């Protein structure tokens, strides 16, 4: 009998999980509370309870060649950065082509996931679901939690004195559905994340005045990077990851800050992070510096307190006669159907081995897919996580002991604090993490072997973009089209933008860019070593 696996949520993590279960001979049943796949990317004109919500103008921050399922490239005419509707179209097509819809129970809410009385022996779970007011209880051999973490808004009501007496309107960015209601108004946006900046930039064209309040600042990157290429096509490479981990920290930090300040000096715009060397996820916005230059948007420090009509900032300045406050303050992670102690098994903190498995479980039959965050795209990350989890459920892979897992979590936590600072999310370096998971399932690219057997491919894999196809290039789950997809990826990048061909298409020159970036540090290094 095939093991039965409950998959909770039919977003990109849920679809990856269904597919990976099928690859391992498991029997998945997916529960999705809405009437379609897509999760976060399924747009609704109205905010729906207990569902992620996006605004009409959302575009992706990862480019198409870096955010596809590893064996399912986007059509070559798709834009590099997609409107949410275009991405939803791709997700739906993937589900149809891979024949995944038949495993999904739509408009079905999971209300409870509990260990069976025989869990110590069987590792089984009782899953209670509800549809049309009727509840049903089913026993599963394993559970994959794929319900995301952009559902429950984090509103800092208790930490902002005077908010209760504020007479204007306030809302969370989750409720924002367009700029029309803010025309001619004075708007304060609290939070310098992607949503906060998107909304503030959009409002700055219609509102009378817009200010963004930030406590810690942030690096701001454009989607258009060196030589006009999508940022992640030149930024996320194996070679860049190797340098980041191999170079002395002072040199790595200097290079990082220099790179982030390439387009404009953040300190001049009030955006400079308090700790610029931290690798926290930057903000992706192509227009924010321009709107600041044009005077339609301003950056202010954190809010100290509210009055009836104004906000007082930490530097003593005020923003008066505010009509709206929009809290772009992120989300609290919560899985209301699951006992909190399973995910937060120590000090009320999320404790997951590799961001997936609760280490204290007597049986490794529950996995959280899509919780880890990195600069890499969510789709290939979820696919890699789901492949490993499905193999663990199928007994093709085994987990270390509880002590070994906890020791690994502690070690990674120390590195996380060094690289990313204190945060509630599980942040990690994309290439390192993907390779780590790939090594568990035998899918990590063997770079030395590639240089010996296929130098053309090896150069693209090591120096070119770390695209998702690399993780279906060899080992179990290998995709025969991976090599061709890697070698032709730049054609699909250029195709939708080169609509007027006047000469041969240009390709990146990684060695020239590398030489340009490292010339000064390489000259400086002998001097510093001599001083020490």
pLDDT tens digit sequence for 214-269: 999 999 999 999 889 999 999 999 999 998 888 888 888 888 899 899 889 999 99
Handedness of CA 401, 405, 410, 415 (dihedral sign): positive
Residue 368 CA, chain-centre distance (Å), reads 14
Model pLDDT, residue 51: 85
Examine the pLDDT at 278 and tell me if it is beyond 80. Answer: no
pLDDT at 417: 65
The residues, ordered by sequence, that sit 6+ positions from 246 with a Cβ below 8 Å of its Cβ are none
**Angstrom distances, CA of residue 221 to CA of 53, 174, 232:** 24, 23, 11
> What is the SS3 assignment for 240?
helix
Residues 404 and 401: their CA atoms lie apart, in Å, by: 5
Going by pLDDT thresholds of 50, 70 and 90, the confidence category of residue 402 is very high
- pLDDT at 418 (0 to 100): 64
Entry pTM = 0.92
Could you count the other beta carbons within 10 Å of the beta carbon of residue 483? 18
| pLDDT computed for residue 24 by the predictor | 97
pLDDT band at 286 (very low <50, low <70, confident <90, very high): very high
Domains of the chain (ranges; CATH) run: 4-151+333-439 (3.50.50.60), 154-222+263-330 (3.50.50.60)
pLDDT of residue 521: 63
What is the residue-averaged pLDDT of the chain? 91
What percentage of the chain exceeds 70 in pLDDT? 93
User: Above 90 in pLDDT, residue 183?
Assistant: yes
Residue 425's pLDDT band (cuts 50, 70, 90): low
Going by pLDDT thresholds of 50, 70 and 90, the confidence category of residue 411 is confident
Residue 73: DSSP 8-state: P
Q: Provide the pLDDT for residue 511.
A: 59
Q: Which helix (H) or strand (E) is 385 found in, with range?
A: helix 378-393
Q: Is residue 424 predicted with pLDDT exceeding 60?
A: no
Q: Provide the phi-psi class of 217: left if phi over 0, else alpha when psi is between -120 and 50, else beta.
A: left
- Mean pLDDT is lowest, of 118-122, 133-137, 407-411, for 407-411
Coil, helix or strand for 228? helix
> What residues does 427 pair with on adjacent strands?
373
From CA 172, how far away is CA 179, in angstroms rounded?
14
The predicted structure's pLDDT at residue 520? 61
| pLDDT in the model for residue 366 | 97
pLDDT 10s digits, 47-85: 988 888 999 999 999 999 999 999 999 999 999 999 999
Provide the pLDDT for residue 484.
Answer: 97
Q: Coil, strand, or helix at residue 419? A: helix
- Whether residue 411 contacts residue 419, with contact meaning beta carbons closer than 8 Å, is answered with no
| 313-349: pLDDT as tens digits | 999 999 999 999 999 998 888 889 999 888 875 665 7
What secondary structure letter does DSSP report for 77? T
Task: Give the range among 264-273, 343-352, 460-469 with minimum mean pLDDT.
Answer: 343-352
Task: Give the model's confidence band at 298: pLDDT under 50 very low, under 70 low, under 90 confident, else very high.
Answer: very high
Complete DSSP assignment for 288-350: HHHHHHTTSEEEE--EEEE-SS-EEETTS-EE-S--EEEE---EE---TTB-HHHH--BTTB-
Strands (E), 177-322: 186-190, 209-213, 220-221, 283-284, 297-300, 303-306, 311-313, 318-319
């Amino acid at each position: 009998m095939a093991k039965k696996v409950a998959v909770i949520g039919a977003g990109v993590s849920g679809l990856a999980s269904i597919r990976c279960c099928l690859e391992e001979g498991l029997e998945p049943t997916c529960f999705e509370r809405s009437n379609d796949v897509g999760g976060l990317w399924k747009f609704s004109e109205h905010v729906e309870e207990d569902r992620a919500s996006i605004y009409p103008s959302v575009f992706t921050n990862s480019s198409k060649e870096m955010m596809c399922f590893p064996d399912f490239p986007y059509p070559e005419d798709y834009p590099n950065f997609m409107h949410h509707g275009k991405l939803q179209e791709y997700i739906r097509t993937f589900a149809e082509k891979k024949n995944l819809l038949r495993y999904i129970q739509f408009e079905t809410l999971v209300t409870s996931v509990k260990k069976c009385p025989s869990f110590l022996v069987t590792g089984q779970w009782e899953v209670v679901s509800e549809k049309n007011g009727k509840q049903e209880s089913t026993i599963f051999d394993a559970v994959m939690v794929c319900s995301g973490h952009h559902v429950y808004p984090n509103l800092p009501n208790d930490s902002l004195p005077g908010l209760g007496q504020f007479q204007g309107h306030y809302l969370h960015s989750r409720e924002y559905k367009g700029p029309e209601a803010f025309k001619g108004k004075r708007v304060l946006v609290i939070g310098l994340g992607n949503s906060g900046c998107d909304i503030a930039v959009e409002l700055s064209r219609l509102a009378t005045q817009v200010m963004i309040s930030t406590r810690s600042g942030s690096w701001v990157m454009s989607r258009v990077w060196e030589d006009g290429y999508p940022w992640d096509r030149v930024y996320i490479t194996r070679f860049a990851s190797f340098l980041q981990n191999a170079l002395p920290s002072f040199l790595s930090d200097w290079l990082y800050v220099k790179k982030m300040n390439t387009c404009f000096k953040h300190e001049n715009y009030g955006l400079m992070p308090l700790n610029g060397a931290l690798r926290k996820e930057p903000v992706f916005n192509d227009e924010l510096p321009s709107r600041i230059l044009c005077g339609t948007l301003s950056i202010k420090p954190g809010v100290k307190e509210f009055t009836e009509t104004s906000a007082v900032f930490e530097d003593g300045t005020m923003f008066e006669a505010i009509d709206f406050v929009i809290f772009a303050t992120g989300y609290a992670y919560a899985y209301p159907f699951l006992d909190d102690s399973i995910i937060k098994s120590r000090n009320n903190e999320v404790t997951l081995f590799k961001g997936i498995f609760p280490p204290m479980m007597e049986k490794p039959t529950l996995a959280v897919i899509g919780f880890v965050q990195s600069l890499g795209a969510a789709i290939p990350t979820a696919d890699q996580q789901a492949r490993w989890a499905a193999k663990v459920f199928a007994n093709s892979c085994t987990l270390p002991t509880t002590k070994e897992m906890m020791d690994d979590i502690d070690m990674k936590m120390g590195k996380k604090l060094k690289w990313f600072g204190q945060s509630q999310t599980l942040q990690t370096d994309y290439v390192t993490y993907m390779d780590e998971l790939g090594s568990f399932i035998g899918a990590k690219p063997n770079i030395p072997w590639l240089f010996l057997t296929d130098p053309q491919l090896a150069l693209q894999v090591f120096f070119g973009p770390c695209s998702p196809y690399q993780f279906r290039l060899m080992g179990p789950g290998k995709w025969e089209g991976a090599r061709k997809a890697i070698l032709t990826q730049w054609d699909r990048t250029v195709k939708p933008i080169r609509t007027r061909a006047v000469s041969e298409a240009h390709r990146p020159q990684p060695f020239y860019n590398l030489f340009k970036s490292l010339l000064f540090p390489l000259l400086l290094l002998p001097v510093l070593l001599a001083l020490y």
